[in-house]
Amino acid sequence: MDYKQLASIILGNVGGKENVSQVVHCATRLRFRLRDESLAKTEVLKSTKGVLSVINAGGQYQIVIGPDVPQVYQEIVALGGFESQAQVPEDDEPAKQQSKISALLEGIASIFQPIIPAITGAGLLKALMALFVVMKILDNSSQTYKLLNAFADAAFYFLPILLGASAARRFKCNQFVAMALGGILVYPAFITMVNEAKAAGEAIHFFGLPVTLASYTSSVIPIILGVWFMSIVEHYVSKISPKAIKFFTVPLASLLIAGTATLVVLGPLGTWVGNLIAAFFKWLDATAGWAVPTLVGILSPLMVMTGTHYGLIPIGVNNLATTGFDTVVGPGMLASNVAQGAAGFAVAMRSKNSDTKELATSAGLTGVLGITEPILYGINLRFVYPLIGAMIGGGVGGLFLGIFGVRRYASGSPGLLVLPAYIGGESMTNFYMACVGTVIAMVVSFIATFILFGIYEKQGKLDAAETGKTARKTVAEPAEPIAPHTDDEIVAVVNGEFIPASQIQDEAFAQEVLGQTVAIVPTDGVIVSPANGTIDVLHESGHAFSVIMADGTELLVHIGIDTIQMQGNGFHVLKKAGDVVKAGEPVVEVDLDAVKKAGYSTQTMLIVTDTPDEKQIPYREFGPVTRGSTIGSVK
């Protein structure tokens, strides 16, 4: 993959660098904040090689790339000159077109996401320690064990400090003052004072105000509420303080006022809310423990698509912090993620298209390891039937995990790599059940998808056969043998009217954003190779294919505008990726009447997406052409 070229195409189609106020990336996606989202060309991006999907959710314009996203991101940063934009000014952010619930979920998730690596590493270390003790490799009374326990407990014990730093970034206030606020909640002297007051049955007062005798180590909600209030205080005091003394008045007021409010009001309120949430799920676990993992296993793909999965993150973290384990979020999402990956493996085994096989295999692997966006958007959602199979497998696996009350003792991206997080309790039974549930989810998903995708392929072949017969009835087959052409010649891909890019009915093609572009308005449906070469990419739907010539020039043929929406109906593919073809050799047959009936333009584009010297191709004059006739040359 040419990361620089892909980055250039993406940047151009999100409206240019001037339209980008911020760009970041996660494990699989580029996440843009655009000043004007109407300038983004979503359909062009969706059809771009290297882009799996485009999603506009949570106030972000998200482009799903897959595992290569860090490399593409670096090229985006270099091309756009975004290196210095460490933080976007508040008045530079675009207006978010999102609901209040979506904004709330995004806000909560953005606070928890930065600290997940720390609690994941600590949690998995805890799980490995439990495994080593069971295997008699580690003695739980040894000094080594106690020091390792400190490594594993530190992230959770000082969770208010970690969350304080993360929340400060979200609420746009001083990060280090927020960390100090979190430090107050876990300060040893304060903890000792609370414990002594509890033991003596006494109360604690601060400036005459009662302080609730609560423990804030490993707590979640109190510090978030505290930093939120601190941000209000900081912004207000900063506004009214004289510039000469602002340096010390703002942090002093922030720490003193927000600290008091947190100890007296917000901390107890947050503790009550956290305990209430934990009690609810404890009750749910006792009365219908199977229900939630089953529903999460079924619905997780849909929640990821809508962004509502963000709401599960704090629930899982809160459960781990308050009860030491999670039976709600982790098990259900584990079943869902591995089921989605297994669905990809089934597609890879069943599909006869080499590109689909390759993508399904690689994306399926990332899916079972816990990163589902590539398989979700690249395969499962695209073909629908694998998504159904994955939801079936996720539901059955989640039901098993729920019935046996499988618990997650540490956080992490739900997948095979975090199975050690299920080691805990008095025996290894919980871990074994987690493994069994994982296998069940994968096997059921694989079988269901294998069967359903088989139905899809049979239906697709039937459609192709029917449309192929129609095309052959209405299209004149070449009566003459294919005329020989030199390796530098480019030929007309179909009979019709040869037109310049300016007459193309799609703005992106007309502006030649993918490369030098011309088009033909076809009079029949036999689409041939534009040159001697090798078919590099041939979309399974048949609406587009690319040919690489001997000198490395890459030509893209796009049949119709937005015809990807037809999902292959009306298209009959004659070749496959990797085939060596001659200029003028038929590659695809299309039923033009079916395209017109579906409401799409039949204009067929020929795009030069890459040349060794980035040179322009000289074409003959525009007008009527015959397929296989020379229209240009790469000399």
What's the CA gap between 233 and 419, in Å, rounded? 43
What's the CA gap between 390 and 298, in Å, rounded? 8
User: Is 558 a known active-site residue?
Assistant: yes
What's the CA gap between 2 and 161, in Å, rounded? 42
pLDDT at residue 381, rounded to an integer:
75
Count the neighbouring beta carbons within 10 Å of the beta carbon of residue 484. 10
Alpha-carbon Rg of the chain, whole angstroms?
30
What's the CA gap between 108 and 449, in Å, rounded? 34
- Is CATH 3.10.20.30 what the domain over 489-633 is classified as, yes or no? no
pLDDT above 60: residue 21: yes
Tell me how many degrees the CA angle 406-424-426 measures, rounded to the nearest 5.
Answer: 100
Q: DSSP state, 614?
A: -
Q: DSSP state, 90?
A: G
Q: Domain spans of the chain?
A: 3-98, 158-276, 289-457, 489-633
The dihedrals phi and psi of 623, each to the nearest 5 degrees, come to 145, -165
Catalytic residue, candidates 26, 205, 435, 572: 26
Could you give the residue ranges of the DSSP H alpha helices within 324-376?
329-350, 354-368, 373-375
In this prediction, residues 498-517 reach a mean pLDDT of 86
Domain 3-98 -> CATH class: alpha beta
Instruction: Report whether 580 contacts 587 (CB < 8 A).
Output: no
Report pLDDT digits (tens) over 33-72: 888 888 888 888 888 888 887 887 656 788 888 767 888 8
Catalytic residue, candidates 485, 539, 558, 572: 558
What sign does the CA torsion over 65, 66, 72, 73 have?
A: positive
Report pLDDT digits (tens) over 309-361: 655 666 777 677 667 788 877 898 899 999 999 999 998 888 877 767 877 88
Report pLDDT digits (tens) over 145-175: 889 988 988 887 888 899 899 888 888 888 8
pLDDT above 50: residue 88: no
What's the CA gap between 353 and 189, in Å, rounded? 66
Instruction: Report whether 437 contacts 404 (CB < 8 A).
Output: yes
What's the CA gap between 64 and 380, in Å, rounded? 14
Q: Name the residue among 379, 382, 371 with its Cα closest to residue 333.
A: 371
What's the CA gap between 427 and 483, in Å, rounded? 75
User: Is 173 a known active-site residue?
Assistant: no
The larger pLDDT score, comparing residue 82 to residue 35, is at 35
Cβ within 8 Å of residue 18, ≥6 positions away? 35
